[in-house]
Structure 1
């Protein structure tokens, strides 16, 4: 676990609202990278080195250079504007850690789902879990250097997304790109309104 202080660890006095956002996705899609790139404080990480015990358990197809994995959560913070701050909670991607989602999801405003087009099928179960929990979400396609490029219609069809569900492209390594994906999520959830949000969760 890594956590260090930062000169920016205190919220500005102007902040009137702080909300909780989940960053979810399949194993190796870039959740830790996104939280690290966008956080204005040194992120808390619960990464452990992958060992032989994970062989046959964690599918490394497409991410064969990955050597660490999140076992609890990532945590970061970004102040979107002088009045609004987001607390970011990145979840583990492996199915065996999904029980942790129950606690992490409590009180969350919404969810940003990261997907990797090289392993799009790995995202199906993640999206199903979100639908079961009834949380509003936006989908961000994390662009890897060797990723194939697909049109929005193809991606929506493959992921079975509703027309109203935001779908954006991002590079989790870049702060501005990651921030813009989060802004898209916040704007979407805000547009639902309290009553509409209940309806969204029930659909």
Structure 2
């Protein structure tokens, strides 16, 4: 790395969160320019009473700690992606993963939108900027972004974007929208705290 790059290069931490089976591991894997780290384990009979597979019967694995990937957005900006586990029993990891994060992507599946409420609440209560990315699954009914925002009762100004977690360019657009939203949220907080003249 040359000295010009090292002086201005910035790495930002981003969380990819959401309910069980919404496509978090897929998104991190699709967009990462490095081989992603994944802590996927096979679902077992022991987990059947606590992991509902309604609407995702084909799912055979689950993230038990985190996913990790990296993408360079610009020559001087890289995003480090941390995918969170979706099941409630792994939520104790979220506080550790969230430390130092610029913002979060809450991935949502409109077939199971209620699974997104916990992640939305988590980031709203902690003041972490986030965008909701609706993963447009094949065969799922399409919804307008504003309808999803209303159904999730999002705070005004919280972006909702449509994406395909399998498509790299689609995921990149989500991440760029998050960085823009986090930057504008940060500027708004600075303006609100600036002393009045």
TM-score, scaled to structure 2: 0.91
The secondary structure found in structure 1 opposite 2:21 is coil
Consecutive unaligned residues in structure 1, runs of 5 or more? 1-9
Distance (whole Å) between structure 1 residues aligned to residue 94 and residue 191 of structure 2: 20
Unaligned runs of 5+ in 2: 193-197
In structure 2, distance between residues paired with 1:166 and 1:36: 23
CA distance in 2, matches of 1:198, 1:108: 21
For 1:163, which of 136, 156, 172 is the aligned residue? 156
Q: 1:152 aligns with which of 125, 145, 148?
A: 145
Counterpart of 1:27 (choices 20, 23, 44) is: 20
1:65 aligns with 2:81: no
- CA distance in 2: counterparts of 1:12 and 1:77, whole angstroms: 21
SS at match of 1:48: strand
Which residue number in structure 2 is paired with residue 181 of structure 1?
Answer: 174
Alignment root-mean-square deviation, CA: 2.0
Q: What is the alpha-carbon distance in structure 1 between the residues aligned to residue 191 and residue 178 of structure 2?
A: 17
User: How do residues 5-44 of structure 1 correspond to structure 2 at under 5 angstroms?
Assistant: 14=5, 16-44=9-37
Contact 1:189/1:197, CA 8 A, preserved across alignment: no
Larger Rg: 2
Structure 2 CA distance for partners of 1:66 and 1:163, relative to 1, 3 Å: same
Change (3 A) 1:11 1:57: farther
**Deviation string, structure 1 residues 93-138 (Cα, Å, up to 9, x no partner):** 0011011001100000000110000000111122112222221101
Q: What TM-score results when the alignment is normalised by the length of structure 1?
A: 0.88
Deviation at 1:191, TM superposition (A): 1.4
Task: Please list the CA deviations of residues 4-26 of structure 1 after superposition, one character each: whole Å capped at 9, or x if unmatched.
Answer: xxxxxx99973610010000000
Partner of residue 93, structure 1: 86
1:145 is paired with a residue of what secondary structure? coil
User: 2:14–2:81: 8 Å Cα contact kept in structure 1?
Assistant: yes
Contact 2:136 2:163 in 1 (8 A): yes
Aligned mates of 1:86, 1:165 — CA distance in 2 = 20
Q: State how many pairs are aligned.
A: 190
Separation in 2, partners of 1:173, 1:59: 23
SS of corresponding position for 1:180: helix
